[in-house]
A and B are shown apart, each in its own frame.
Chain A
Amino acid sequence: MSLLVRTTDDLALDTGHEDAVLPGRGRRTRTLAWLGLALLVVLGVVVAAAIVSGTAGDTDLPGRNAGPSLDHPFGTDRLGRDVLERTLVGLRLSLVVGTSAALGSGAIALLLALVAVAGGRVGEAVVTWLVDLFLALPHLVLLILITFALGGGTAAVVLAIAVTHWPRLTLVLTAVAREVAGSDHVAISRGLGHGRAYVARRHLVPHLLPQLSVGTVLMFPHAILHEASLSFLGLGIDPSLPAIGVMLSESMRSLSAGHWWLALLPGLALLVVVKLIDTIGTSARALVDPRSHHL
């Protein structure tokens, strides 16, 4: 249960009730359209960030602290840097953090789910204990401790986020794996003399892949918001880099001077990207596991 990063992965909300009128293909097409659109926008952010990354750090002191205009849609900061360009580069950094979390924590979750189901009673007890252990500290405090142990800095934060986002996905995957492990074909395979490792690899993993891919996408929002939070506190990404958390932390200094765009716009951009990735995840889940969408 994460309040800090309040996702709603575990809730499948039937969002549109007019869908009842448009069953079957209409809904599927629309979900696909949302998925495509969200993917396109996220890709657009990456491409745009690549284009502007060269000029994002350029200072322009005469034009500093200017509000949003046509030249600078997000305004400029106290050194005259274009806030939109910095925001785009910061968002790309967020996506990198999200990707590393997806790869790192996704792999850990898959491994632990297999151990929990194929490893017998001991395996299950160990995995649930580990999950409880990682949920025993507020996530932000855990991240602070691990970042500290790694000596701080950008790499430390990315690594800390990558290795702490697996508990919830592990629980989801374990539940799915347990269901599969109880099915007839697994019993037959065991009866034919196949070992636990073989069953895990050949019979469990293929069934876990859809949930794993959806779960890793839904991990992005958590990871991105945690990175931004740590950076905001000054414990995350190197303050000289344009990360959203760093920019918002800097914006606090000039908030009383009325420079609202420095706080509002980068945060809003982050919110939009997080929502988009959430849309990608939930749409993909609706396609992979339609039942979850009809509760």
Chain B
Amino acid sequence: MLSAPARIALRTARVLSLLFAVVVGSFWLMTASPVDPVQAYVGADVAAIGPEQREQIVDRWGLDDPPLERFGAWAGNVVTGDLGQSQIFGEPVAVVLADRAAASLALMATAWVLSGVLGFSMGVLAGVRAGTWVDRVLSWWAYLLASAPTFWVGLLLLYLFSVSLGWTPVGGAVPAGSLPGEATMLERLHHLLLPAATLSLVGVSPVLLHTRQAVVEALGSDHVAFARAQGETPWGLVLHRVLRNAAGPAVVLQFATIGELFGGSLLAEQVFTYPGLGEATTQAALRQDVPLLLGIAAVTALIVLAGNAVGRVLGRVVDPRAAVLAA
């Protein structure tokens, strides 16, 4: 068995190797693409530029250099904090990412916390009441949402609350016509409501189902039977004997799904035209902005790997048995 520092060092090296591989792999995918970067950049005006100008752009971007050399140049810049220039936004990629991340953070954090708290409480309820109609309704609901496309749920909410009832705005992060700086906190929240509800609604189901399972298992275990024999009350059983068993997997799961929450935000932001990181990703892919796509790939990989690591550590804090089992 390895000592704790050695294990941590090994794990860190593994995460770094994965991150490096993601970056190299993404770069390779981008260079392998048959999409002509010059044409993607110039767009419809491509006929208007002559061969000399094209030559200049190719030269400036180093498109004729061997892939390894280009990767070296790009990676060298990344190390110094320069992720390149976004073609569609005309700003450094780092600036675009930071701007968009701020908007997305509010959305994703709300959805993440809501889905975690709701999913866990409903999962505990379903597990404790396993077999009753409460459990049936909650489980059925979770299974149904597990098969529902995120963007479809968003569309339905949009139709119901924005179009029919008119309670919520149709899209955007701030009221139409006002600058991002002018909007009040309340207006921002108002715009955040539906996208966050969409992501929370569909995000509830994995936590709910896993928590339910963990609660059912814990309730059937020997230590619960022993506590019950000692006269522990039903709610005491849940509070003192079951909750912690169920919390471990839920915490790990909730952190492990951060990456997929990002995938969901791509769709929710598209439905609600919410100007966050997800919308930037879609735009970058649609308009073939290679530097921005590379930056997004690197950042999302970092988020996913960090989320997994944090989840694993917290999972061990909540449930020390996990550390014993893994060692």
Contact = CB atoms under 8 A, between A and B. Distances in A.
A278 B304 CA distance: 27
B152 A248 contact: yes
Given A148-B288, A235-B282, A3 B260 contact: yes
B13 to A, nearest CB: 12
Interface stretch (B44-52, B72-80, B96-104, B154-162): B154-162
Q: Return the 4 tightest CB-CB contacts between A and B, nearest first.
A: A3-B260, A267-B152, A140-B263, A149-B29
Contacts of B155: 248, 251-252, 255, 263, 267
A264 B164 CA distance: 14
Interface of A: 1-4, 6-8, 11, 13, 15, 17, 129, 132-133, 135-141, 144-152, 221, 225, 228-229, 232-235, 245, 248, 251-252, 255-256, 258, 260, 263-264, 267, 270-271, 274-275, 278, 295
Contacts of B203: 3, 6
A25 B253 CA distance: 36
Given A3-B264, A4-B264, A13-B139, A137 B22 contact: yes
A278 B144 CA distance: 11
Interface residues of B, number: 68
Interface in B196-221: 202-203, 205-206, 209-210, 212-213, 217
Given A4-B267, A144-B285, 12 more contacts: A1-B260, A6-B203, A6-B205, A137-B301, A137-B304, A139-B263, A146-B29, A151-B35, A233-B270, A233-B285, A256-B170, A275-B147
B131 A17 contact: yes
Given A4-B264, A137-B22, A263-B156, A234 B286 contact: yes
A84 to B, nearest CB: 17
A293 to B, nearest CB: 13
Given A2-B260, A11-B210, A256-B170, A151 B147 contact: no
Contacts of B271: 252
B197 to A, nearest CB: 15
A136 B152 contact: no
A3 B261 contact: yes
B178 interface: no
B116 to A, nearest CB: 11
B282 A233 contact: yes
B297 A141 contact: yes
B128 interface: no
A145 B297 contact: yes
A290 to B, nearest CB: 18
B281 A3 contact: no
B66 interface: no
Contacts of B296: 141
Given A6-B202, A235-B285, A270 B149 contact: yes
Contacts of B304: 135-138
A140 B266 contact: yes
Contacts of A129: 14, 17-18
A2 B206 CA distance: 9
Interface of B: 14, 17-19, 21-22, 25-26, 29-30, 32-35, 130-131, 139, 142-152, 155-156, 158-159, 163, 170, 202-203, 205-206, 209-210, 212-213, 217, 253, 256-257, 259-264, 266-267, 270-271, 281-282, 285-286, 288, 293, 296-297, 300-301, 304-305
B146 to A, nearest CB: 4
Question: Which of the listed residues B14, B170, B297 has the most CB atoms from chain A within 10 Å of its own CB?
Answer: B297
A295 B213 contact: yes
Contacts of B139: 13, 15
A64 to B, nearest CB: 19
A270 B152 contact: yes
Contact of A229 (B18, B34, B151, B253): B151
Contacts of A263: 152, 155-156, 159
Nearest to B311: A1
B115 to A, nearest CB: 8
Nearest to A143: B263
A245 B155 CA distance: 12
Nearest to A258: B163
22 contacts: A1-B257, A4-B260, A6-B145, A7-B147, A8-B142, A11-B210, A13-B213, A132-B14, A133-B18, A136-B19, A138-B262, A140-B267, A144-B281, A144-B285, A145-B30, A149-B32, A228-B149, A233-B286, A256-B163, A263-B152, A263-B155, A264-B159
Contact of B267 (A152, A229, A256, A258): A229
B149 A267 contact: yes
Contacts of A260: 159
Contacts of A252: 155, 271
B152 A271 contact: yes
